[in-house]
Amino acid sequence: MNLKHLNDIEILTFDKSTLETADGLSATFLQSNSSSELDKARAVANHVLEKLGDIEHPILLMDLHKVAIQYKRWMECFPSIDLYYAVKCNPDRVLVAYLQSWGVNFDCATSAEMDLVVNELGHPPEKVIYSNPCKLPSHIRFASDCGVRLTIIDNKDEILKIKRNHPSAQVLIRLACVDTSAQCPMSCKFGATDDKVRSLLEYSAEVGLEVVGVHFHVGSGCSDPQTYHRALLDARRAFDIGIECGHDMKVLDLGGGWPGLNPDDGSCKTASGIHFEQIAMVVNSLLNDLFPNEDNQYKIMAEPGRFFTAGSSFALSYIHSKSVDISPFGERLIRYYINDGLYGCFNCVLYDHATVHPDTLEFAPNDDQPRRATIFGPTCDGFDQVIDNVTHLPELEIGERLIWLSMGAYTSAASTTFNGFTQAKYYYYKSL
């Protein structure tokens, strides 16, 4: 694609070490008449490659405008629910700083995440939740030292651990959810079941640990809005028990699990096709019935992660090797080897149950020649297979590149340098 025909993309010239937001920084403007998300991604990728040359390391490109779109979408649907971005989803420093510039608060799971948010970015510790039910004692002490008071418990041992290491903490009791519709269920690992809620609230009162509310998580990638019905009923019941036990119950945390942006059509929906706006209608109706908040007696918050990041970024990979066999039926069987894989950003295939889809960097219509491709990552591990049975691509050569849309959530966050391969480097832009 010829760059002079591109029109609605702004390439930002700052990098991962920059803490300022995008506004006001010098930029390069490209011109475009295309509304296709893939064409826009191709334009950005070509521009970056023009600047960087023939590089071999994997690349991630983040559209900060899509992050802003999602912020506005949330505020339209949930204007009175406070946003606490789940840093674990994508802890990229520029992304976190950009969200901070919009007034977003943070859900941190470790001392490292709290260090980034509170110490490096200067975010107020009272606007951070240490949202990990089972914590290392040193991390609890770190939270105490940097002023983060709000955290979570779901068992008696955690109550004692927090009381010993952070006696001034304020805690939410995490409830177990029915999360069978989620991509990544969590109730098998975290959450107090109904039969344990009262004893935990009573025990917290007995040892003098301040319980201020309830937390739940319907599972990452939840696809059934009715899951919130049971969760909010359980939360209301837990609130009432907490009040009976003498706690000042005032915080309701709806957790994560909110669907991410589909960059192809601008929708935000679950794998089963339920739109975020439909989920919001269900949740708002339940909140009005169970937690009426005319006098602002409740602080209601949520911890979206993939909601902001899933559709914000695309990956650009490089074909460094290739081999071809011919099947007994004359079909070409191609193996491509790229510079990123399951030990890098494509860990999402394993850990986030993601479905990835490769496209060519340059537009290239397929021909009728039968071929089937498997795409492998760069490591020496035979397990490092990104995708199999690819039939929609034309035959590609060493040195060509592939684009993978929707690679912003749970990708770079869990990548490694196994075998000594370089992790993907982020570049940033704004589609206008």
Taking alpha carbons only, the member of 428, 403, 432, 182 closest to residue 312 is 428
Q: Which helix (H) or strand (E) holds 151?
A: strand 150-153
Q: What does the alpha-carbon distance between residue 230 and residue 237 come to, in Å, rounded to a whole number? A: 11
Residue 380 annotated in active site = yes
- As a whole number of Å, the end-to-end CA separation of the chain is 19
Do 87 and 132 form a contact (C-beta atoms < 8 A)?
no
Residue among 226, 131, 201, 209 nearest 169 (CA): 209
Question: 388: buried, middle or exposed (CB in 10 Å: 19+, 13-18, 0-12)?
Answer: exposed
Q: Cα separation of 301 and 28, whole Å?
A: 38
Q: Running DSSP on this structure, what letter comes out for residue 190?
A: S
Query: Helices 64-77 and 276-290 sit at what angle, rounded to 10 degrees?
Result: 40
The one catalytic residue among 89, 184, 245, 380:
380
CA separation for the pair 99, 319 (Å, rounded):
34
The whole-angstrom separation of Cα 81 and Cα 75 is 8
Residue 113: in which H helix or E strand, if any? helix 111-114
**E strand or H helix that includes residue 30:** strand 27-32
Measure Cα distances from 240 to 152, 213, 384 in Å: 18, 10, 50
Residues marked active site are found at 380
